[in-house]
Structure 1
């Protein structure tokens, strides 16, 4: 089932962000390092390009992502004009302290002491924007939660001498083009649970893990992943963890939540759901399917799982 999620307040948030961007020098886009492109809102790129603003792209939660894949993504983004990509963990004070310095490098004209360097934090829900904001200001000014769309209002605060920082609510875009993106976002808890079916999301996640990280599954759940697909993996996790319904049937919803929480928390290990190569292959396959008149969304999922 295709996943779409665009709460009403996000349309207003986009409008306010577009207005504020006129007075901003650098856009700080926070993405999830485990799925940097799927977690990058295309509207943010559109808005900053319209205003010709440079972008510091932060691949947050890098401590949860596959480090080799993260390096590949940074190489990919750092080849793009007007973009500087850095992997960070927003809870790491030393890494966060580099952010204003990097922003000044992207806006050297603001190093004259006349006008402040004006930065804006943007990104989709639940990628760590509020954690970053609080870490930069060294005090709690933004509400932090493990549910998406906690921040609802835009605010601008002083960040030391000659610097201001604007925090924006998490913004999704009206239509997710590729079903695989919707499932990756849901697996990473960037989409509200009311818009997804946990078992479907976990089966999708399981298929990726079986293909790319079978050893992590074997170590975590003490099972043999050979020959399993996504749904069969949920069955195996349910049996290993004693997820049973009254009458003895398997509680697959509980097993799905176990797999999702283990991935989200890093209990499974350091995992990335997409690479620059799998991303390019997914898009190419989806376009080919569209040109052939096949359902684009199904092809996108199949390719991403591969």
Structure 2
């Protein structure tokens, strides 16, 4: 399943990130906690490697908690703090400032020795589309300054956002990279909505999702769709789900487009249960 998507504005955004890094003290990278590997843009990793960084595993309320803990341990080091977050409710938001203060401890001490009393930490917020950057910024700022949407590509331009805790945030549009060489990475991005459904074969995508869940989270499928036994193949399981949801057209044929939309929507909304699609290597 070949997936390529690299809108022109993303080339511009990559250039702007590189140019604006000198203006900030640290970087906050937002990732999707369900796919911490796939939602890590390697271009961002390369661009920001010399900056202290906080990695936010957003939408952690939708994940398998044990897997999220493994990712926190795996991604953290002396220059990187990793935090699980639910931006919608604000769970974990109070950990952001202490994490930044710890990363910037030496710099802040130098500033105090020079007589600076009020220290403002300037941070660039980066991430791929649809990981919840705008929701995170709105929660930090406690208002709706940044535009939000449930589709990738809503945030278009750079803007500075002030908070009440001495942190100023530079927003950037979501950036993907031009070619996905790993099919699992591409599929995980598509499953979670980081790639627009409009350019996808969503029927094939839904079938691929069933194939994945049937192996790793079979009980979630059984419980959500009230199926006693899954099919021997992903297609048979998808047919069972479709029949349970009444996605049948005249003549008893399956309406695959309709069940694909339902399945993907329910997965993305966490209705199939707490699921993590990747674990650390």
Structure 1 runs, 4 residues or longer, greater than 6 Å off? none
The aligned counterpart of 2:172 is 168
CA apart distance, 1:200? 1.4
The structure in which a higher percent of residues are helix is 1
- State how far apart, in whole Å, the 2-side matches of 1:46 and 1:228 are: 43
The aligned counterpart of 1:238 is 242
The aligned counterpart of 2:157 is 153
Once the two structures are superposed, residues 22-71 of structure 1 have per-residue CA deviations (whole angstroms, 9 ceiling, x without a partner) of 1211110000001101111111110011xx10110010000000001111
The match for 1:86 among 74, 77, 83 is: 83
- State how far apart, in whole Å, the 1-side matches of 2:185 and 2:54 are: 22
Unaligned stretches of 5+ residues in structure 1: 281-306
CA apart distance, 1:84? 1.0
Q: 1:94 to 1:275 in 2, by over 3 A?
A: closer
Once the two structures are superposed, residues 96-144 of structure 1 have per-residue CA deviations (whole angstroms, 9 ceiling, x without a partner) of 1321221121112135353521111110011010000000011111111
- State how far apart, in whole Å, the 1-side matches of 2:70 and 2:245 are: 35
Unaligned stretches of 5+ residues in structure 2: none
- State how far apart, in whole Å, the 2-side matches of 1:33 and 1:87 are: 7
The aligned counterpart of 2:127 is 123
The match for 2:277 among 259, 273, 277 is: 273
1:43 maps to 2:47:
no
Q: Is the 8 A contact 1:122 1:170 kept in 2?
A: yes
Q: 1:239 to 1:139 in 2, by over 3 A?
A: same
- State how far apart, in whole Å, the 2-side matches of 1:19 and 1:268 are: 42
- State how far apart, in whole Å, the 1-side matches of 2:167 and 2:230 are: 54
1:209 maps to 2:207:
no
Q: 1:225 to 1:173 in 2, by over 3 A?
A: farther
- State how far apart, in whole Å, the 2-side matches of 1:231 and 1:38 are: 25
**2:48 aligned counterpart, secondary structure:** helix
CA apart distance, 1:227? 4.5
The aligned counterpart of 1:100 is 97
- State how far apart, in whole Å, the 2-side matches of 1:204 and 1:223 are: 19
- State how far apart, in whole Å, the 1-side matches of 2:140 and 2:165 are: 13
Q: Is the 8 A contact 1:89 1:95 kept in 2?
A: yes
**1:93 aligned counterpart, secondary structure:** coil
Q: 1:258 to 1:225 in 2, by over 3 A?
A: farther
Count of residues in correspondence between the two structures: 274
The aligned counterpart of 1:3 is 3
- State how far apart, in whole Å, the 1-side matches of 2:266 and 2:91 are: 27
The aligned counterpart of 1:288 is none
CA apart distance, 1:93? 2.9
**TM-score of the aligned structures, taking structure 1 as reference length:** 0.85
